[in-house]
Structures are given as C-alpha cells and as structure tokens.
Structure 1
Amino acid sequence: MSQSTDSQLLGVVLIVRHGDRQGFYQDPTTYTPTATAITPLGNAQEYQLGGYLRSIYLNASSPSYIPGMSTGLFNQTQVYVQADLGGEDGVVYDSCVSLTQGLWPPTLSNDITLANGTTVTAPLGGYQYVPIESVDPNESVSLEGFEDCNTFNTQTTAFYNSSEFQQKAAESATFLNMLPPYLDGRSVSLENMWNIYDFMNVQSIHNAAFARALPPTFLAQARALANWHEYNIFSSPSIDGIGNIAGQTLLPTILTGFSGIVDPTNPVKLSITAIAYKPFLSFFNMSGVAEANPELAGIINYAAALALEVRQPSTGGEPVIRFNFKNGTDADFVTYNFLNRTGDVPLSAFIDSMAPAAVNTTAQWCSVCQNTQDRGCAALTLAYDQGHAAAQPRISPVGAGFLGAGLTVAVVALLLGTLALLGLLSVGKISKRSKKQLDSKVELQD
C-alpha cells in the first residue's frame, strides 16, 4: 500500500466482500441464488480484515489515519455502514458484523455510570454494537442491480450463444469431461462454470477427503474458467453497457460517500458497504483497472476490500481519489492506477468519467432493465398508467421519481457545488459533454 505523504487523507469509501460460506447454487442465466450460511472461517476472515483496516485508518500513528476519527469507542456520527441482505441470504450481513467487530473491538471504556454511582460495562468485555443498515434487494436496487434485470439476462443468453463462448467451450471440453467424479451430479457445462468452481472450492476448504482426491491442478483450472465466465457476464466494453449494471447501481453509493467526505459540515468520513463479488467485477471493468491488471478480471477472494481514499494534495487544489485493493486475508493493500491515468485521480475526473453511467433511481433501473413488475417497477408502471389515463402531464418511468436506489443527480451537483464553494474546484473544469448530461438529468428530476 502506498504510504505517500504528498497528500492528506480526508476519508475513505470501503467496499468489502463477505467471508467464507457454505456452498450454494446460482442460476447460470438469471443468477437467482439459493440460500447459504456463513462459516466460522468466514467470520474469522472478516474479523481479521476489520483489524487490518483498523490498523490503517483508525490508528492515530498510521500515515493513513482518518483525521478526527475515534480510535476507541465507536462514534456513529462519523461512520456509515450498510450490507446487502439479498443474494447469499444473511452471509453478507453476518460478515459485516464480524468486520465491525474487528474495526471496533470490545473496550472497557464502553460503560455507563448510573445515577446511583454504579458503573456498568457492556457485555462481552465492552462489546461495541455497530449499527448496520440492511439493504433488501426488494426495496433497493443499489447492491444487486443485476437481479431481475431483463436486459442483463438477455445479454447473458446472447453471450452463451456467441461464437466466442462456443470456442471457449470447445477448448475446455476435455477438462470439463474429467470433472463429473468430483461434482456430485452437477451439470458439467461451461454455462454452469461458476457453480462448478464454487462447489469445488467449498469442498476443497471444508472436505478433507475431497481435497485429497482432487487432482492438484483442477481447482486452479476451474477457477480460471470461472474467472473468464464471470468477468464476461458482469462487464461490457462500454461503461454504460448492461453487463456493467452491477457496478452502475453501486456507483451512487460511492459518489454519495465522496460527497459526504468532501463536505466539511458532514461528519461521516468512513463509508462501508458489504456486498458479494459481482459489483466488483463491473466496477473494475468500468474503472479500467481490470484491463490494466488482468489478475483482477475475475472473482475476487473472500474478505477482499476496495478502499477508495479521498485525499487532499499538499500542493492544494481539488481532492483526489486513490484506488487501493486488498484481495483477501492473505494480501495487503496494493495501489492501482485507474481511469487510464497514473497516480491519484482528481475527484472531478472521477465524476466526469463515472457519474454519467450511474443508475441513480429505481425508475431509471426499471427503464434500463425493461422491467415493469419487479422491485418497485410495478408501482411505477401503475402510477404512470393512472396518470396517463387521467390526462395528467406525461411522466415516463425514467422520470417517475426516486424510490431508494441511492443517489440522484442532485448529489453529484451537491458534491461539485461543495468543492466549488471551498475553492477547490472550478465549475469550468466540467467538460461540456458532462455538463450537458448533468443538466439533462436534472431536467428529468424536475
């Protein structure tokens, strides 16, 4: 991890993957999952990650300490934590609980003195209960933008029918045909590659007999194919392509985090979002990190963490973003170049490149995913139909309003406005193209 002293850390947006869990199945086309559960190993991995992050960001002697952050007792005004409550059942949320235990471990200072003079310490040696907002996919599309997305499913099917996929299937047929003895009856096809790898990986971790019987190279070969499979599913060549939908719906969370960090009146300087692996793939594709670093064009490890640091250069000017990624418990943070730039990226450049691709509202998601029934789309469709029938001014699903996706264009405008008021950013630095896009989106909100 870079320990450059040429800038002052202002705050961090953390995106983390859950820890080890039991196996589960995902439909190869829709990615509809079955339930699973976290393991003690998964809890331990997340707790270890929390301790690692604490040593970097909540340690006053660390070069990357977040100024003003409490280093002992948890201060709810300084931190925002949310966790996906969908896909893998409660695994992501349970992982986040263990993560916060490592970030804010028990302390005897977590006590209270009663009116009668008695001092009571919280249970378990001063255990700190950190509030975590659970994000239900039925109420917000922000952390699972791919679920029930019809255009995403259509693209997945098209990929399976492509000449590229058929060629890869032919190339991997010999290897796949050797796997049935190790898959307990699971379908052996390239379409099912994620489920093949996940079963083999889970069994290799938790089943000693399986681990002994599996030929030494098979797990690595299966992972390589699964990496290729998943990266192609959850990415698109263009930043606003539907394959990036998981990253497009995550972007508002990231931009909101940045907005709070650069706002001197906002005390929240650490934003934590716990998710599954899919949005990482899309975001790494959208940011250009995967193209420049092929090892990141695949499934990330359990308890991996992305730290998007907001920093103030010592020379002045606008804040910059530093991209640090840690791929699992056995790794340390590595600083990566992104957005085809070298070094830290100006915040305005990040906004200019990424914000136009963000899916900011449920209504926008319904339009992009061509869904009129699920995840709040039915209510929007009904409202539109009723309004149209009553001869009210026409409101398209794209402009129908905000139902919980996260960030509206107003947040981006607020972020830019905050920088301008601080003298850190001139509005003139926004490209004409981006300004036109922002203006048009604001008009949709009006």
Structure 2
Amino acid sequence: MSDAALSQPAPAMRSIAGRDIGLKRRYAAERRFRAFGIAAITIGLVFLVALFASIVSKGYTAFQQTRITLTVDFDPAIIAPNGDRTAAGIMSGDAFRFDTLMQNAVITTLSLDPDDEDGLYDALDLFSKGSVPLLRRTIAEDPSLIGQKRDVEFYADGNIDAFVKGAISADVPEEQRVVKDAQIKVLQELQADGHVHKAFNTGLFTFGNSTRPEVAGVGVAIVGSFWMMLVVLVLSLPIGVAASIYLEEFAPKNRLTDLIEVNINNLAAVPSIVYGILGLSVFINFAHLPRSAALVGGLVLTLSTLPTIIIATRAALKAVPPSIREAGLGVGASKMQTIFHHVLPLAMPGILTGTIIGLAHALGETAPLLMIGMKAFVADVPTSPLEPATALPTQIYMWATEPERAFVERTSAAIMILLAFLFVMNAAAVVLRRAFERRW
C-alpha cells in the first residue's frame, strides 16, 4: 500500500467528522436563537417597566390630596334666611350665601381683617373652586349642622396641592409660577397651625367629572363601565356560546358555514372604530337610542367582543375528546343532551376564559365609545344603562386633553385604576382555567 493511500482518512471517519461539524453548527445556531429570544424578552420587559414607571411616577400622587381645615359657623341666618332647612330649600335659592359662609370661615380661621379684600382673596384662592358647592351639598345632606360650629376639611386648589406635593417650587421666581408669594405666606401660616394635611383622595373614586381637577374623579366612569360590561356580558355570552355550539356541533360543513367561519375570524381583526361607526348609524341614527348611554356602549362593545368569544368557545368545544360525545350517544342520550350535559360543562373553563378576556378587551376600548358620544361631560352617577354615562377609557382621554397641571397626575392615576381592573380580570381568567381545566 502506498504512502498516499495511507494518508487519506477512511470514508467512515470523514462521515463522522462531517456530522460533528454539522452538530456544532446546529448547536451554535440554537445558542444564537436562544440569545436572540432572551434579548427580545429583555427589551420588551425594559420597555414595559419604563412604561409602568412613567405612569406610576406621574400618577401615585393623585391618590393623596391636600386638605385645609376651617372652622365653619353654620349660621342659620345665612343658610336658611327664610327658615326652610329642608334639603330642597338649601339647594334652591341664592347660592352666594354659601360663598359668604366660606368667607366667614376663612376670616375666622386666619383672623383676617374683613376689610382686607386682597388678603381675603389670596386666602380664598388656596381652596378649590368646588369647595362652596361641596359645602352646600354637605349641609343639604345633613341639615342638623345648621346652627353649629364645626371643623370642616376643604380640598385645596390644584396648584396649591401641587405646591404642597413639591411639584411647584418656591425657589422659582414668582412671575414664573402660578402660586403667588402671598398665597405661600398664608399657606405656611395654616401649616404652622396644623390646618393643612394630606389625606387619601377618596374623591378620586367617588366624584364625577369636573373642570376643577382637585374635585374630579372616576366614580361616574367606573359606574358607567360597570353598566356597559353588564350589557356586554348579558348579550355576548349567551349569543356567542349558542353560535359556537351551532357552528361546531350542528351546522353542516359546506361553503356557507366556511364563509361564516372566515368572516368571524375576520371580524376579530376589524378595527374597533368600525364598530363605533356601525353603532352610531344603527343604534343611534336608526334605532334612536339615547346618545352617550351605557346601553349603546354595551351594544357596540358586544359586537366587537362576540368574535373573540365565539373563537374561544369553539376552541374549547374542539378540545373535548370525541369519546365523550360517543359515550353519551352510546348510552342513549340525544345529541342535544350529550352537548349540554357532557360536552358544554367540560368546555366551560375555556368558555369562561375567553369571555373574561373578551370583557377585558372591551373594557379598554376607547375609539367606538368616542364615536357614539360617550365623551360627554357627566357629573352625576348613572342609575341605569339608559342614562348618560362615560367610561374609564374615555375619561382618561378627556383628562389627557386638559391643560391644567393637576390633570396630568389624575390621568396617570386613572390609567393605573384601569390597568388594575384589567389585571384582575386577566388573573381571574387564569385562575378559572387552572381550577376547572381537565387534562385528557
């Protein structure tokens, strides 16, 4: 045998070497793909953390509100000069008498000279412009206050609240800030006497919309969202489940049902504003339902939620093994009995999960609600779905367009509240799936 022949590797050895090189390349490709995946997740988490940090840093201060305590003399000669102490009598008549009540409280608490109009106006500017209406409403709700002297907490003006929270600095020249030196001096006197403190802002959850940020809240929006979600749940769940059962279990497989399935999948991807246009033309212009009502919003959101529920329900029905159906039919049950007594209960976890996810998606919709006019200024809590209402997403939209500084923190706080609701709903979907899921 020649030396050249001995120097050539055997075919088997060349094959093994080639496989080793191929394995190394595949392992290297797998490591690169894994690194790209980790990098993508990391970048996504960084952006998510940055988003939440931005929202929380701007909105957490809205959950506290500066309040100023005044000693109020509920003088019956001012409140009820005609002797009518009923709630209707207090809410009617000249409203300026309550301004006088407020001015007297400021003069008494600060020991001001009644003739010093400039000092009085500077002191009154510390308080929210909604203080007098709130004072009037408080007396109407509890007429027994008339004739007494009580310490009453008033909401500070939005700019004063921002100053107390540190958003406005006293080191800035007076002409460059909205809080005057005279107001700061009066505020410091009140702080020294213990009349100024920060408390949990319950009004954020109970008040309705207002042009004054310090007395604006999402209470009306939360109730409006509740009415809408109730309408969506009552309509979308039975309709979506019934349509899914028919398409999956009873409908013949032909071109018509194929066309219906394709259109359902396409409807799930239709922009939500299209549903708003549809609701505007059908429910408001044609059916003449009340504009800006929770009922109309619920109907529009039902249309946008149905495809999601139908797709999720059909997937849950498909996941039930065929042996369940065969066993039911084998013991003499009808097809209807088999579906409703055996298949549907086993598919219920997936159905509930899809429904909750659909409701969570509907809760965050804004565009269709803007199209049907649910951005109206609503200050009173709606007691039925037919009354004017607003929703959390539209409330956030309206606050985001306001120029006042205090609305910035309230916008972020409303976003935090909405995200909390969405988190709870998605967590409920996960819990329900894990609690009722059956593995085959």
TM norm structure 2: 0.23
Higher fraction of strand: 1
Higher fraction of helix: 2
User: Radius of gyration: which is bigger?
Assistant: 2
TM norm structure 1: 0.23
